[in-house]
Structure formats: C-alpha cells, structure tokens
A and B are shown apart, each in its own frame.
Chain A
C-alpha cells in the first residue's frame, strides 16, 4: 500500500512520518512514533482513551486520519507537564487516587487539561459532562471529578 508523507508538530517537535491512508493519528502516534502513552480502548470514538489535543482542540486520535495531521500541532499526554514538574491535573490525579488500572488516565488527563484551559472554574456538572466522552471502568469517576476540581483550585492559586 503506498504511503503518504506527512509533516506535523508533536509535543513541540517537528515530526515527519509516512503513513497508509487508513491509518489514524492514534496508529501513527503509537506504532510509528512510539508515543504509546495515548491508548486505544475502542478505535471508534467511544472511550476517549486516545484523547489528544490538535491545535488546542480535544480530539479522539482514533477518529482522525494520520494524513489529516499535516501542518497541525498535536499534544499528547507525553507533552503535558514538564520534566521537573507534573501538570496540576497529573499531580491531583496522584494525590486524589483518581486512577486504579491507569489505562484511561492519559485520556482523562488530556481531556481535563483541555477543560481547564478553556474553563478554569468548571462546576461539578460541567466537569462530568466534559468528561462524558472518556470511559473509566475502575473508579466510578468520583475521585476523577474531585481531582479535576482540585486541579482547578490549584491552577487558580498559581495564577493569583
């Protein structure tokens, strides 16, 4: 199958890759670029484990073709936080025990960061509806919602 050349930006780095036309951004991230932090739970846009940011927008990596990444800026879970400091969302997930198996966690971290970037003071209902595209089978969401609430408080404190 002929492959197509794509140039894009991933976590701030300029990246070039070749991909088959049916390969998704998720396939490319995981299999071609070795960024396996982004997970596949369904491949059909129903679980959010593959959540990434594309030009700042929250997207299911499994619903976007690799060739569509041309010229875009992609941020994955590996690009959130910095080597010396976790992002507040990551830190609160740890402190609040908002993960059990952790498989859904990268998707939730990316989705929660996107929420707090656009809405720094979400209500519990807003958090629950924003995260409704991310499935977690382990936690019952209670501690995830609390971690996002705590991260929002923390980020507000940092700004003040």
Chain B
C-alpha cells in the first residue's frame, strides 16, 4: 500500500479526540485506578546500596506479621532459559530482566528489588518491608562511564566479556559491547580537511519522567489462568515478558490495558507485573502494586549518561569531508544502552563521505537503562550538532546554510546502510531559515542556537478490525495503547477511507485476547503502522460492503463504486446505498460485516527536524531562560495536526528540561540523591514560552496518506540548540550537561578568568 495524493476530508482536520471527555472528567482509568474484591497490596523492598552481595535475607518476621499473605525473594522467581524479546526499538534479554526484577546474589544499584510482600492493607505491607532483614556485603561501585571502562574498575558481572573487539578479551569487564559504523577513508578525509575540530562532551542519566508511576493489578487463579490490568506501552509485550519470566503459556495470561499516563519508552518493559503475579499466585488473591515517585526514579528508566568525543573535518567551502565519533554509554546494571542508535543517527542528517563512529555499551551501578524517546539520538546529536555549530562559526557561515550544504537528500546513503527515499531535511532547514523567528532581533545576553535531528522511526506488527454496526456507525478495534491521541488519528484514517465523519467511528484499545499481536506504542510507529493496518482493514470492510450492495442490486461488484460513505452503482440506474442501508440488511446478505488486517509494516520513513531557540543568560546567577522556541519537522502528513504539534512541543520541552536541569545526582555511596520531582526538576509552565511547531509535509511513499512517525525526533535537537544559543549569548561553550545555573555560572567565571 503506497502513497497516492488525494483530496482529504477527515485526515488533516482537528476533531475532538474520542477519549477526550473521559480524560477531562476523571472517568478514564489509568494503571492505579483499578481494584478487585479481596485485593491485597504488594510492596517491594529495594536495595539501599549501589553494589553489594546479598549474604542472607530473613523474611520470617515479615511473614509472621498479621495481615501479610505472601513474601517473595529472588529464590521464588523462576530464572528463564534466555533469549530476547523485542520491545519497540530495544531488545530485552530475559535473564537480565529476571535479575533486574528481583536481585539474586547481588544488588547492582540503589533501588534494586530484593524482596516483595503482599498484605491486606498498604500500611501493613509497608510495615512488613521494615521487618525483612537483609545482610549485605557492600562492594565498591562505579557510575561514571569512563571510570567503569578502566581495567581496575569495580566489576558488575564477572561473566561479561566485551563483544566485537579483537582480540577476544580474556578478562571480564564492564564493557559489554563495541559497536561500529563507518565508511570511506578517515586518514584521507581528515588530510583533505582545511579545518578540523575535536571536542569532548558528557551527559548525565535522565529520566523519562512520565507523571503516572508504574501500577498494576494481577489475579492468578488456581487453574493457572491469570489476568493483569496495567498501564503500559503495549499489553502484548507485558504478556510476553510475564509469560517468559514465569514459564507460562501465552494463553495463560490476559493483559488488559489501562489508560497510560505517559511512557516515552519507559513503559516498554516490566517492573511490577511478574512480582504481582507471583505474589497473587502465592496468596491466592488479587494483588495491586503501585510505585511511589521515589521508586520510579530509583528503579525504572533512566536513559544513559555518556561521554562522547566528536571530531569533524571540513573544507573551506563548508563541505564536511570526515567525521569521527567515540560514544561511551552507560547501560546501567545490565548490558543494553541505546548506544547503537547514537552511533547510527548522530551524523545522520548529513551526507559525509568518510565516517568512523564507535560506540561502547558499559555496565555501571545505576538502574538498567531503558528506552527514552529517540533512545540515544539526543546524546549523539548534542555532540555532533555542537561541533557543526563551531564549524559554522570558524568558517563564518550561517549555521543553517552549512547544514543545508551537507544535508542528506533523497538518494543519499545513510551511515547505517540504506539509501534514503524522499525525506524532508532540506525542507525543514529552509522553513527554519525563512521563519520570522530566525530574523528576529536579540538583546544583550541573548543568543540564538540552531540544531537538527534525525530519527529513523519504526513500523512493525499491527492489527485492526473494523466492525460495521447495523446503524452505519463503526467500531474500530485496535491493540496499541493511546498515549497521545492515536485513537483519534486511527479513527480519522478509518473515517477517511469510508467517507464518513470521524465521530461515527468508535475506536477501542483492547486486551490481548481480543485482537492479534501488536507491537508496542513506541518507535513513533502507531499512526504509521497501525494506521496502515486500519486503512487495510477499512478497505476490507469497504470491499465487503460493495459486494453486499452488488448482491442487493443483483449486479457485479465491479459495477459498484465506494464514495462518501455509500455504495454507488456506476452504470444502470445509478442507485446508491449508505453504510446503514447495507449493514442493516447484512444478516440477509451473508452475515455481519467486519474488515480485518494484520500486518508487519515496513518503510516507516525517517523524520528530520530543525529547532531554533533564543535564550537569555543571567550573568549573575547562571540561569538560562528560554525566550523563544521554534521546531520545524517533517511529519509526512499530519493526520490530526494538533496532536502532531503536541508531539513536537512536548519533545522540545523534554529536551529543554534535559538541557537545563535534569540529571541523576548520586552521593559518594552511589545512592540517588534527587529521587523526587522537587530535586529532579522538570520544566513547569513558567519555565517555558509558547513553542511554535511548524510541520512540513514530504509524504512518506510507504503510507497511504504519506504519514511518518513524529513522536521521537523532537527530543533530538534541543540539547545542542540550547548549547549553541548559550554560546551565541555569552561566547562560552557548554559541553557538559545539564546547563544548570551553577555550571553555567562556573563556565562564565572561568571564561572571565581566562580573559584575565
């Protein structure tokens, strides 16, 4: 199914989302809103140490507390055979996941679960945790990625040998893997260059920061059948991870998706669900578990802190001839950082003939790193888009012109292999340059920064069912949790194909027994991939309705055309039948009408984006204020423009938080010091201006309406855009995130001193 330009009546409009009223009245049920009769409360005991051996755990006192119905430790959790489960852009190693769910012999980070209880009230469950005695042998820990790579660093896993290095290492280390992407001849490339710039950058771990903490209810019946209610980015992923963890069969577990209060990649794995299932199994009653905010910070997410060296070589005329990067990423307690994506996409907005990019995946004593919106890409872009900005200044050319000169375009080859189809990099750059923002005047201590970003987007497996009701309305059944308006965008595509109003289509996100497998809501894939499935399923329903109309008229289906919500006879008497007229007779013409599609969508089509931002730097306090912010992004086709703008604005805001304030701060013992929203400071309304979101449209040839994913790319450019703006305002380069007031102030003072 490919793109065809056509006149659209629904796609591109802004109807009220179908789940809207539920969400503004408090009716919508999120993860923690569900309860069952006889339900117990489950709680987790977590390690207070960054790295320690568990000598012994004594749960006898907790078990003896009246009201406690079950207590579990690592020994009660099965160890799966191994293998990986795909979760959006990341792959989850099931044995690592099992050890992350509940520590066995060692705890690997502050917050690592060591035991869990279920009791008749939350307060008894809490009291029981206090009665569990754990004997720890504290071990030296390491958090900084470069420290962790040293030969004498404290070792997290004694069976971890670096993959993809020659010769094969004989000693274990914290370095799980080396990843490399390259082409051309580096020596030749840099020797041709008139200018070479090489810089070092660092970032800290940052959290996805969804406002809804993880929560679930599990109910395990005596016959081995179980049900889980939870909020996640994919009910099928939760099912598969739980059954893999616990040695169940897929048909033993039904997962019912709740509404989800934000995920940003962080809810594409399990933390509580398998524990709740085991507790429920032991206690013979339903168990509810919810995380506190502190637990969310200490035990879920975050994304990697990293150290990056970036080197760029260019000719006088601005042609970039070579780029070399070395990216060291924290993986957290177990291997699997998003460094691979950083390696592939850091330079991806540009067509560079000689490239050498190396990534390192390094275990450290923080929670297992998990996906966060365009995982890995913001880190890589921070470094590369900063050196591009330096290059533009060295060459004294406009930073947008420099980017345009080197931009990828249709037909250029991506650093990671394939040749690009149509994509909107140049369109974004020119829209940014022509935007009034780019020409607006700046005051003293104010500066403007520009950066671009690239994200690949994914397709994947999606299914949809289109049920035609007897009155001509439609039930649209799908399997991807709606985090930001996808019920609306999918219903709109269904309505477009049928030729009816979006309001006549009622979309539902259903449980794992009500539709075929769907990949997660992640990778910016739902409006693209599930959208394709919806279009196919709707076309299937249309085909059936044309056949029914033909039957009713006693003519050939080929003589029936579908237009504006009705079947039309092409010749003859020119009769027509509405959906309701066809559907109300369905019992007599062959049974009820239902279209279906189950696909594995390819050809997602990358998103390119350019951001620009104006900052003002307070030289007395080091505070950076965002004065103005504009994002330009190629959405392919914005199905519901308001929600496309929302993705761009929200991604930019997250990037602004990452740039200016957010970071994990650890004490000497490796304990997280800022495990709450007061000290882990995310942007609030008064920190931000309006964010102008301009959506360009270079249609994706692989989608019937030209859709590309939009959700992730907007978090890629802000880090560098803001760093570049701070430089423009002050002449000081910030290469270590975040640009919090103390750091900016120190950098300004240092610059003053250097001036003498």
Contacts and interface: CB of A to CB of B under 8 A. Distances in A.
Nearest to A101: B262
A120 interface: no
A94 B643 contact: no
B686 A94 contact: no
A44 B295 CA distance: 13
Interface string A50-91: 000000000000000000000000001110110000100010
Contact of A86 (B24, B29, B685): B24
Contacts of A142: 645, 649, 688, 690-691, 693
Nearest to B678: A46
Interface in B159-181: none
Contacts of A141: 653, 683-685, 688
Contact of B649 (A35, A129, A143): A143
Given A20-B123, A143-B646, A46 B261 contact: no
Contact of A138 (B27, B484, B640, B686): B484
Interface in A73-127: 76-78, 80-81, 86, 90, 93-97, 99-106, 109, 125, 127
B677 A44 contact: yes
Given A97-B642, A99-B24, A142-B649, A137 B682 contact: yes
Contacts of A95: 16
Given A43-B292, A86-B24, A101-B483, A135 B677 contact: yes
Contacts of A46: 293, 676-678
Contacts of B484: 100-101, 138
Contacts of B442: none
Nearest to A131: B685
Contact of A36 (B29, B678, B682, B683): B29
B123 A39 contact: no
Interface string B684-711: 1111101101000000000000000000
A101 B685 contact: no
A96 B123 contact: no
Contacts of A36: 26, 29-30, 32-33
Nearest to A99: B23
Contacts of A140: 646, 649-654, 683, 688, 691
A55 B654 CA distance: 35
Contacts of B693: 142
* Interface range on chain A (Cβ under 8 Å from partner): 35 or more
A39 to B, nearest CB: 7
Contacts of B17: 94, 97
Contact of A94 (B21, B208, B259): B21
Given A39-B261, A101-B483, A135-B677, A143 B642 contact: yes
A144 B685 CA distance: 9
A93 B338 CA distance: 35
Given A78-B25, A97-B643, A137 B685 contact: no
Interface string B250-290: 00000000011111100000000000000000000000001
A7 interface: no
Contacts of A41: 211-213, 261, 293, 677
A106 B26 CA distance: 6
A136 B211 contact: yes
B113 interface: no
Given A22-B123, A39-B261, A97-B643, A145 B690 contact: yes
Contacts of A28: none
B136 interface: no
B210 A37 contact: no
B211 A49 contact: yes
A15 interface: no
Given A94-B20, A97-B646, A104 B685 contact: no
A81 B262 CA distance: 25
Interface residues of B, number: 61
A91 B654 CA distance: 26
A90 B682 CA distance: 25
Given A20-B123, A102-B259, A40 B23 contact: no
A30 B41 CA distance: 14
B151 to A, nearest CB: 40
Interface in B628-649: 640, 642-643, 645-647, 649
A44 B27 CA distance: 24
A77 B26 contact: yes
Interface string B284-316: 000000101100000000000000000000000
By secondary structure, the A interface counts as: loop
Contacts of B32: 30, 36, 39-40
Contacts of B14: 97
B209 interface: yes
Nearest to A35: B26
Contacts of B483: 100-101, 138
Contacts, number: 189
B11 to A, nearest CB: 16
B485 interface: yes
A136 to B, nearest CB: 7
A71 B687 CA distance: 37
Contacts of B649: 139-140, 142-143
Contact of B213 (A37, A40, A101, A143): A40
Contacts of B682: 135, 137
B751 interface: no
Contacts of B36: none
B595 to A, nearest CB: 28
Contacts of B138: none
B38 to A, nearest CB: 15
B19 interface: yes
Contacts of B29: 36
Contacts of A146: 690
Given A97-B642, A101-B484, A141-B653, A81 B25 contact: yes
A31 B19 CA distance: 24
Interface in B1-52: 14, 16-17, 19-21, 23-30, 32-33, 35
B495 to A, nearest CB: 18
Contacts of B20: 93-94, 99
A100 B23 CA distance: 10
Given A94-B20, A109-B24, A43 B293 contact: yes
B690 A47 contact: no
B365 to A, nearest CB: 25
Contact of A97 (B290, B485, B684): B485
> Which of A49, A95, A139, A144 has the most chain B CB atoms inside 10 A of its CB?
A139
Contacts of A76: 26
Contact of B485 (A93, A100, A104): A100
A42 interface: yes
A82 to B, nearest CB: 11
Nearest to A22: B123
Nearest to A136: B211
A106 B210 CA distance: 15
A102 B684 contact: no
Contacts of B647: 100
A101 B690 contact: no
B240 to A, nearest CB: 23
Contacts of A101: 210-212, 259-263, 483-484
B695 to A, nearest CB: 14
Given A102-B19, A141-B653, A78 B26 contact: yes
B646 A37 contact: no
A90 B691 contact: no
B690 to A, nearest CB: 5
7 contacts: A36-B30, A46-B678, A47-B677, A86-B21, A102-B261, A103-B212, A140-B691
Given A139-B650, A142-B688, 18 more contacts: A36-B30, A38-B26, A41-B211, A41-B293, A42-B676, A44-B293, A46-B293, A46-B678, A77-B24, A94-B20, A97-B17, A97-B643, A102-B19, A125-B686, A127-B685, A134-B684, A137-B210, A143-B646
Interface of A: 1, 20, 22, 30-31, 35-44, 46-47, 49, 76-78, 80-81, 86, 90, 93-97, 99-106, 109, 125, 127-129, 131-146
